Amino acid sequence: MPMAAARGVRKEYSFAAIALVGFLSLTACGKPTERPIMPPDVTDFKTLFSENCAGCHGMDGKNGPVRPLNDPLYLTLIPRETLEHTIENGVPGTAMPAWARDQGGPLYPKQITALVDGIESNWTKSVTLGSTKLPSYDAGGDAGDAAHGKQIFVRSCFMCHGKGAKIGLVTDPSYLALVSDQNLRTSIIAGRSDLGMPDWRFLNLGHALTDQEISDIVAYLASLRPQGAQTATHVVESGSGQTGARTTGNEGSGNGPGSPENQTANQGSGGKGVGNARTKQ
């Protein structure tokens, strides 16, 4: 995979960085330590973004440790209200803090609005999808089938994320403990346009993954989280009830060490499901 090889240099940067970002903010009980208080009259998008967001989402909204927001496909995917809601409330259990003052954050409502408007007006472009249907942003409570997700992972992701691969340890439990199911879903659908991960249209061996397949892969990855790690489920507006369904769906899904489907991934290396996909040869 030439793309993967070309990107190899970057990988440690990004995955180490997200771990560091997660560590720094989670050690302060989810409260980020140094967030500048913006004077209420600052409503300039560039200033707000570079002071508050660029450290994680990248200068100009890309090439940071965390996913780009300067990404037309991503902005087509995420509904405006969800974008706004996520900025206001953050993603509990991850390094993404809440920004609204009424959620303990530093920003006034008009500053949040300026960010949402600025992200959309500066970085939205029309995306040509042809006949391919864009999956929905959130899984709508679909818990997914982890065993099936594992098969798809082996087929569609392993070449870049598997053992010996030069890029990201997405099956690493300590990485998975830092990211929400929604973040995994978003990554699979929108890819990482800045770092060379293709989007869902190409991930099924050059064809589009279905909505169901995406949910299944997320269920598989979620099943690899360490026991007891807080499952950082991204609850979107009116999302009550989704959390439970998604989490319990991953339990007992048959991906424990030694389960038969591990053999596809492990190529006979002995059925230690959790770590094998990323074991360096």
The reply to whether 58 sits near ligand HEC by the rule CB under 6 A is no
What is the closest distance, in whole angstroms, from the C-beta atom of residue 94 to ligand HEC in the complex?
A: 4
Give the footprint of ligand HEC on residues 126-185 (CB under 6 A): 156-157, 159-161, 167-168, 170, 179-180, 182-184
Residues 6+ positions from 40 with CB-CB distance below 8 Å: 108, 110, 111
CB-based burial label for 60 (10 Å; 0-12, 13-18, 19+):
middle
Which of 19, 21, 100, 139 binds ligand HEC (CB under 6 A)? It is: 21
Nearer to ligand HEC, 195 or 249 (CB): 195
Which of 98, 143, 203, 222 binds ligand HEC (CB under 6 A)? It is: 203
Q: Mind giving me the DSSP string for 206-233?
A: TBPPPHHHHHHHHHHHHHTSPTT-----
Q: Which range, of 80-88, 236-244, 249-257, 269-277, touches ligand HEC by CB under 6 A? A: 80-88
Q: Which range, of 190-198, 243-251, 260-268, 270-278, touches ligand HEC by CB under 6 A? A: 190-198
Containing 151, the helix (H) or strand (E) segment is helix 146-156
> Helices 181-190 & 211-223, crossing angle to 10 degrees?
140
Q: Which amino acid is at 212?
A: Q
Among candidates 8, 210, 74, 192, which has minimal Cα distance to 201?
210
Which of 62, 67, 148, 225 binds ligand HEC (CB under 6 A)? It is: 67
Contact 179, 92 (CB under 8 A): no
Where along the sequence are the contacts to ligand HEC (CB under 6 A)?
Answer: 1, 3-4, 7, 10-11, 14-15, 18, 21, 25, 32, 52-53, 55-57, 66-67, 69, 78, 83, 86-87, 91, 94-96, 99, 115, 156-157, 159-161, 167-168, 170, 179-180, 182-184, 186-188, 192, 195-198, 203, 217, 232, 234
